[in-house]
Each structure stands twice: as structure tokens, then as C-alpha cells.
Amino acid sequence: MVESKDKEVVTSKEGGTSMSFQCPVLNSTNYTIWEIKIRLIFNVHGIWEAIEPKEGSEVDEKKYNTAIPLLFQAILENMVLKIVDFTSAKEIWHTLKVQHVGVHRVKEACLETLESDFESLKMGVDESLDVYSGKISEIASQASNLGPTMKDKKLVRRLLSSMLEKFIQIVAAIEQFLDLGAMPFQEAVGRLKAFEERTKMKNKEVDMHERLLFTKEEGIEKVKEQKCEHCGNESSKQGNKERGRHKYGKTWKNKQGNQAQQDKDHIKCFKCNERGHFRHECPIGKEGRRQT
């Protein structure tokens, strides 16, 4: 692997005391910070003129000789061959700037795209919390690879503000009672996950209760279908057979004109004084003899 740590360089002495500076090493992601640090170091030692000469003045050759080695020390080894043919510090500086500013602009464009995607995130209706929180984490990871890291505070607020309506109760509770600025992103996900699991359990209980009620009502309707609309008795053939049997097996119509049956064991005939039939059904004829 290529070393990219800053290197300590002793460049001058003042009052018998040597001054040492950490020379930053340029890589593919730190050009802006690297340029600021190099400018400060070159200005302290009075050699910035080797990079940007003042108009109408000549630059001391010693400054060129000092600036060029420092620039070589401030880049990675794989970049040395790209600038080895340049003879002035100004040419080296310009080449490094053109190369890395272009890369920097591409990264800025990528960051802007990620930021736009991040702000437009919304949880899908059929999307699970694990999948959605994973999208937020993925964008945050990509952004950190390109530059600044997204803080948990930003991730938590994006998460809570883009949840589905079914999470509104837990979201309101978190925002009201907890410090969002100090809450880790994974803690917020965990709280929402716990609420989601409890909601699933409750929905299962409600669904089971509704099924039981439906089964009970369905049974009641079946019983109603088996009952006679007029007398209220069950209308099944087996039921009619059991309930319709009596001593004589005879039937008659009631006041409403409906066919009915009744046990006549308690009925007494006014003609023969025997029980089990009415007078008009008496087996004794007009002459007083039992009809055969």
C-alpha cells in the first residue's frame, strides 16, 4: 500500500531554533485541504513566489530549488512520474491542480446527487423498515466515501420525517420525549422496529378475533335457515320426523292456515268421553256404534 501520511520536513532556522512542519500528502480526495496547507507552509518560508511570482519581480533561484523538492515530497509515489519532466514549481503546481480539481468537481457532483436522493427518500407502502433503513444507510456510506460523513442527527430526522402514516404514533413519541440530536441512527431504527413488531402481533390478534366472530355469526345464520318462518321450529326432515310423531300421526291447520301437528293424548272427546281425539273425529257413529 502507498503511504499517505503527512511527512515532517525541516526547512529553516530562526534564532538558532529549527522549525519543522508536517507536509501534507496529496491523494485523490483531499486536494482542497492539501492546497490550503501547502500555501501556509510556502508562505511561512517565503517560497510561495516560486508558485505565483509577483508581477515585475524576479524569483530567487533558491526558492525554486526549495519549492520543487517540497512538492515532490507532498505527493504519492505513483504521481511522481507524471511531473518529473517539469522544471519549475509553477508548472508542477498547475498540473496537480488541473488533475485534482477535475476529480474534485466530479466528487462534488456525485455528492449533490446523493444529497438529492437522500432528501427525496420516502418509505414505500409495501416496504419493510429493514429495507428502507438500509437505503438510508447505503446513501450515508456512499457520501462518506466521497467526502464529509452524514451525522446521525441528519439520518434520524430523514428517517422519522419519511415514515408511513402507520408509524405516526411512535414518531410523535420519539420527537416529543427524546433528544434527536443525541440519538444514534440505529437506536431510532430499533425503536421503530419494536413498534412495527408489536403492531403486527396486535393485527394478528384482531384478525383472529374477527374470524371467530364471523364463524359464530355464520353458525347462527345456518340455524335460522333451518327454522320454519311461521312456527319457529326447525324445518329439517329429521327434526320434523322426530317432533311430528304422535299417537295418531294426524295433522290439522291452525288459525293462520298453517299445517301443524299436536299430541292429542290430553284431548277428551265430548261424545265418547275417551281421550286422544276430537268429537268430530270420534269413531262412534250417529247410531252410537263404533265405526269400523
Grid cell digits, residue 265: 293424548
Report the range out of 139-148, 177-186, 274-283 with the highest average pLDDT.
177-186
pLDDT 10s digits, 181-231 = 899 999 999 999 888 888 877 656 545 545 555 555 555 555 555 555 545
Q: What is the CA radius of gyration of the chain?
A: 49
Q: What percent of the chain has a predicted confidence (pLDDT) above 90?
A: 14
Better pLDDT: 225 or 263:
263
Helix, coil or strand: residue 25 = coil
**pLDDT score of 1:** 34
**Least confident window among 29-33, 100-104, 121-125, 256-260:** 256-260
**pLDDT of 158 above 90:** yes
pLDDT band for 240, please (50, 70, 90 cuts): very low
**pLDDT score of 197:** 85
Sequence-separated (6 or more) residues with CB below 8 Å from residue 59: 49, 50, 53
pLDDT band for 244, please (50, 70, 90 cuts): very low
**pLDDT score of 247:** 42
Better pLDDT: 28 or 89:
89
Grid cell digits, residue 116: 438529492
**pLDDT of 121 above 80:** yes
pLDDT band for 154, please (50, 70, 90 cuts): very high
Position 188, amino acid: A
How buried is 37 (Cβ within 10 angstroms: 0-12 exposed, 13-18 middle, 19+ buried)? middle
**pLDDT score of 243:** 44
Q: In whole angstroms, what is the distance from residue 38 CA to residue 154 CA?
A: 33
- Domain positions in the chain are 7-107, 264-292
CB-based contact 235:228 (threshold 8 Å)? yes
**pLDDT of 4 above 90:** no
**pLDDT score of 119:** 92
Please, what is the average pLDDT of the chain?
A: 75
**pLDDT score of 134:** 92
**pLDDT score of 186:** 92
pLDDT band for 290, please (50, 70, 90 cuts): low
Average pLDDT of span 166-172:
89
pTM above 0.75, yes or no: no
**pLDDT score of 237:** 45
Q: In whole angstroms, what is the distance from residue 131 CA to residue 155 CA?
A: 15
**pLDDT score of 63:** 86
